[in-house]
Structure 1
Amino acid sequence: MEANKKSNSTAGRELLVSRLLNAPRELVWEIWTNPEHIANWWGPEGFSNTINTMDVKPGGEWNLVMHGPDGTDYKNKSIFREVIEPERIVYEHVSAPKFLATITFTEKGKQTLLEWHMLFETAEQFEQVVKTFKADEGLKQNVEKLAKFLDQFYQAKHAL
Structure 2
Amino acid sequence: MTMTEFMDDGTDTAGREVVLERVFDEPRELVFDAWTDPRHMAHWWGPRGFTTTTREMDVRPGGRWRFVMHAPDGTDYDNLIVYLEVVRPERLVYDHADADGDNEVAPAFRVTARFHEHERGTRLTFRLLFPTAEVRRAMMDERASEGGKQTLERLAEYVATLNAGAADVDL
1:119 aligns with 2:122: no
1:66-105 equivalent positions in 2, closer than 5 A: 66-95=69-98, 96-105=106-115
> Tell me, which stretches of 5 or more residues in structure 2 are unaligned?
1-8, 99-105, 167-171
Contact map agreement 1:97 1:129 (CA 8 A) in 2? no
- Does the C-alpha gap of structure 1 residues 125 and 85 become closer, same or farther in structure 2, counting only changes over 3 Å? same
Off by >3 Å, runs of 4+ in structure 1: none
8 A contact 1:77–1:93 mirrored in 2: yes
Aligned residues, how many? 152
Greater fraction helix: 1
- Structure 2 CA distance for aligned equivalents of residues 63 and 25 of structure 1: 24
Residue ranges of structure 1 left out of the alignment (5+ in a row): 1-5
Using structure 2 for the length normalisation, give the TM-score: 0.84
Q: How far, CA to CA, are the matches of 1:98 and 1:43 in structure 2?
A: 17
Alignment partner of 2:15: what SS?
A: coil
Of residues 5, 12, 19, the one that matches 1:16 is 19
Which residue in 2 is equivalent to 1:3? none
Q: Which of 137, 145, 158 is residue 136 of structure 1 equivalent to?
A: 145
Measured at CA, do residues 32 and 101 of structure 1 come closer, stay the same or move farther in structure 2, by a change above 3 Å? same
Aligned partner letter, 1:113: R
Task: Indicate conservation of the 8 Å contact 1:105/1:113, yes or no.
Answer: yes
- Please give the root-mean-square deviation of Cα atoms over the aligned residues, in Å: 1.7
Match of 1:108 among 95, 118, 135: 118
**What is residue 51 of structure 2 aligned with on the other side?**
48
Secondary structure at 1:130 match in 2:
helix
